[in-house]
Amino acid sequence: MPSEQDAEGTVTALYAAHALELVRLALVMVGERETAEDVVQDAFIGLYRRWDGLRERGKALTYLRSSVLNGCRSALRRRRFTPWTDRPPAVPSAEHEFLGREDHREVLRALRRLPHRQRETLVLRYVFDLSEEEIAETMGVTRGTVKSNAAKGRANLGRLFGEEDG
């Protein structure tokens, strides 16, 4: 059984290697940096606490991705139905605003309106370039479900913009 230091060192190393990718994943999902960072911190703390029971430590990144997606789902639920929040809203930077990326904002807003499985599948597939197998493992579904969710997600997202899926 590893020592406390082993777990701490390993999880810290994983954080150094993957935190940025995971915060970015959470940011795309929830659109708010502070929430994204909170979700990722919670995921690593969860991994640290459960380290001894983790059967396949080589799949720690998969566990972290799953945990981040769950955390984002919870954050989106809270945001929608928790009436008050002390957190500031996502405010675009001046540069971001200057570039006038209205289309990008619309795409992301539409993405966040998709059912969560479609939303997550699209982001993992087309933004993070994960394979169908990796996505299936992360989301705990079959490859067939990944294909189906990707197709439905593309179609729904396209429909929101009046485009044919092609």
At its nearest, how many Å lie between another protein and the CB of residue 134?
A: 17
162: left (phi over 0), alpha (psi -120 to 50) or beta: left
**CB closer to another protein, 105 vs 143:** 105
Min separation Cβ 116 and another protein, Å: 6
With respect to another protein, which residue has the nearer C-beta, 24 or 134?
A: 24
Work out how close the CB of 40 gets to another protein at its nearest, in angstroms, rounded to a whole number. 9
In the complex with another protein, the residue whose CB is nearer, 58 or 88, is: 88
- The span from the CA of 33 to the CA of 37, in Å, is 6
Q: Which lies closer to another protein via its Cβ, residue 115 or residue 144?
A: 115
Measure the CA–CA gap between 154 and 111, rounded to whole angstroms. 10
Query: Could you identify the residue written with the tokens 């001894």?
Result: 52
At closest approach, how far in Å is the CB of 149 from another protein?
12
Those residues whose C-beta lies under 8 Å from the C-beta of residue 144, and which sit 6 or more positions away, are none
- Identity of residue 124: L
The CA distances from residue 100 to 68, 91, 127, in Å, are 30, 13, 21
- Minimum Å gap between C-beta 59 and another protein is 13
Closest to another protein by CB, 96 or 143: 96
- Output the six-digit token pair for 142: 């079959």
